[in-house]
Amino acid sequence: MTVPSLLAVFAHPDDESLSAGGVLARHATVGARTAVVTATWAADTTRATELTQALQILGAGRPRMLGYADARVPQSAPGKARFCDAPIDETVRELVAHLREFRPEIVITHDAYGGLTGHPDHVHTHRVTMLAFQAAGLERLYPEAGAPWQPSALYLATHPHSAVRVWGAYLAATGKALHSVPDDRVAAAVDVGPWLEQKVAAVLAHRTEVERGAAPGLIAGLRASDREQLLSTEWYIRHGSVPAGAPWTELPA
C-alpha cells in the first residue's frame, strides 16, 4: 500500500507530537514524506531546539517555523507580531509557500475548536490552514509563493466526546473546559499503538513543557498503561465530508 505524503500544520512546538505524533511516525516508517509547519516561536529558542529533536524522533524532517509570537508568551519571538495579530494575508501566503514547496497529498491541522484546550493560537492556525489549503491550488493567488499545488485531503485533529471522558479524568484538576466533537463527526480513528513509543519520546523531547507542567509534563508523570490509554488513538475530522458508518482506520488521500 502506498501511504500518502503528509504535511502537519500546528500552532506550537509540542502540538505536532501530542496531536499527530503517531500518524507522522506511521507515515514516515513506511517511507512516506512527512513534514511539520509550526506557526509560533522563533528558530533561535530552546523550544525550537526541542522541536528539532521531536521531529527527528518522528521522522518528520527539519522544522518549518513561521516564527510568530505565541499569543501568551511575547518572548517566544522578540520583535515579531503575535500570530493571532499578524495580517491574515501574510500568514496565508507564507503557509501556501510551504504547501507548494513540499507538495503534500494530505494536510493535518487543529480542528475549529483548537483542540481540547481551545488555545487561541490553535484556533487561528486552523483558520489560516483552511484558507491556505484552498489557495494553494489556485494559480492566481500568491503567484510569488510557487507553482500551484492542491493537496487531496485536509484532516483536523480532534477528540470525540467518548475520548474526553477518559482525558477528563486526568485534566479535571486544571479546571479548564475541554472541547470535543460528537463521535459521528470523526472520520478517522487511527490506532497508533505500534508507534506509541516514538510518539511519547517526541512528546517528552519538549522538555520545557515537561518542566512547566503542561501536557507533556502530565504525560511524563503517567504510568505506561495510562499513556497507552490516552495516546494510542488519534482522531481526525475530514474536512468537507461527514462520514457514514464505522470510522476509517487510516488517513486516505
Read off the pLDDT of each residue in 178-200 and give the average, rounded to a whole number: 96
Question: 17-21, 82-86, 163-167, 208-212: which range is least confident on average?
Answer: 163-167
C-alpha cell at 62: 527539519
- What pLDDT sits at residue 94? 98
Quick: pLDDT tens for 133-162: 999 999 999 999 999 999 999 999 999 999
C-alpha cell at 42: 522563533
- What pLDDT sits at residue 3? 80
Three-class SS state of 122: helix
d(CA 113, CA 118): 5
What pTM did the predictor assign? 0.93
Question: 40-44, 50-54, 96-100, 225-229: which range is least confident on average?
Answer: 225-229
Q: What is the percent of the chain with per-residue pLDDT over 90, rounded to a whole number?
A: 84
> How many alpha carbons fall within 13 Å on the CB side of residue 231?
30
CB 136 within 8 A of CB 103: no
- What pLDDT sits at residue 172? 55
Average pLDDT, the chain: 92
Cα angle 42, 106, 41; round to 5: 10
d(CA 48, CA 31): 25
Read off the pLDDT of each residue in 45-67 and give the average, rounded to a whole number: 98
Which residue, among 78, 82, 71, 13, has the nearest Cα to 47 in the 3D structure? 13
Task: Report domain extents, the chain.
Answer: 6-238
Model confidence at 181: pLDDT above 70: yes
Question: 66-70, 82-86, 116-120: which range is least confident on average?
Answer: 116-120
Give burial (CB, 10 Å; 0-12/13-18/19+) of 83.
Answer: buried
d(CA 164, CA 166): 5
- What pLDDT sits at residue 1? 61
DSSP-derived pairing of the beta strands 233-238 and 153-158: antiparallel
- What pLDDT sits at residue 243? 45
- What pLDDT sits at residue 242? 41
Model confidence at 173: pLDDT above 90: no
**Fold of the domain spanning 6-238:** Rossmann fold (3.40.50)
Read off the pLDDT of each residue in 88-102 and give the average, rounded to a whole number: 98
Quick: pLDDT tens for 193-244: 999 999 999 999 999 999 999 999 999 999 999 999 999 999 999 996 444 4
Strand order across the 6-10 sheet: 64-68, 34-40, 6-10, 106-110, 153-158, 233-238, 188-191
